[in-house]
Amino acid sequence: MVRGERLLRRQVLAGAGFNLGSGAADALFVLYATRDLGLPAWQLGTVYAAFSVATVLGVLLAGRFAATIGLAAATRICAVVAALAIFLIPGASLGPGFPALLAYQFVFGLAATVWAISMTTTQQLITPPELQGRVAGVLQAALIGTVPIGALGGGALAAWLGNVPVLTGGATVALLAAACLWLP
């Protein structure tokens, strides 16, 4: 079903590529925030709290947002916005780190949540009921399986190149993957 349905195939490839890039960024996040940017524990905790608040807000707004602009548009827009938010992580080295990381966690949490809900809704709408579990399993395996690969690769590259280049590269991979949803 996933291989035969172009929309599902595109979503799984975009999601896997996105998770590869964001996995690399996530692996470096705490180290970068505390060692490179010097954030104290209370600021790091606040940054993570912003993500949680944004996620709840995303859950509450996803249906209304998709109903307003359409499910396909919500999926595409939120994927790109979530990927663009990742650039705020390496961008934090250009100025005050705390506000940049706070903005990252909020924008990423909101957009990624709406994207995930929109993508799952699309998957459920086009998948026959008897294949729902199998298709969901294949998509989850592909999406979740790329996170540790990105984390391992990001950590290894950061040891060689440094955090900021790898964070920027991870954001670029995530953005290119998300942009694939806009292809005809």
CA dist 111 and 131 (Å) reads 28
Which tens digits make up the pLDDT trace of 80-109?
999 999 999 999 999 999 999 999 999 999
Structure tokens at 141: 């395996």
Look at residue 3 in the predicted model and tell me its pLDDT.
84
Enclosing domain of residue 30: 6-179
The DSSP H or E segment spanning 148 is: helix 132-161
1 pLDDT above the threshold of 90: no
Mean pLDDT of the chain: 95
Which tens digits make up the pLDDT trace of 127-178?
999 999 999 999 999 999 999 999 999 999 999 999 999 999 999 999 999 9
User: Phi/psi at 69 (nearest 5 deg)?
Assistant: -110, -10
Number of domains forming the structure of the chain: 1
Q: Decide if 108 is inside a domain.
A: yes
5 pLDDT above the threshold of 90: no
CA dist 105 and 16 (Å) reads 20
Structure tokens at 2: 């996933």
CATH number at residue 76: 1.20.1250.20
Q: Decide if 51 is inside a domain.
A: yes
Closest-CA residue to 5 (of 135, 145, 180): 135
Q: Decide if 1 is inside a domain.
A: no
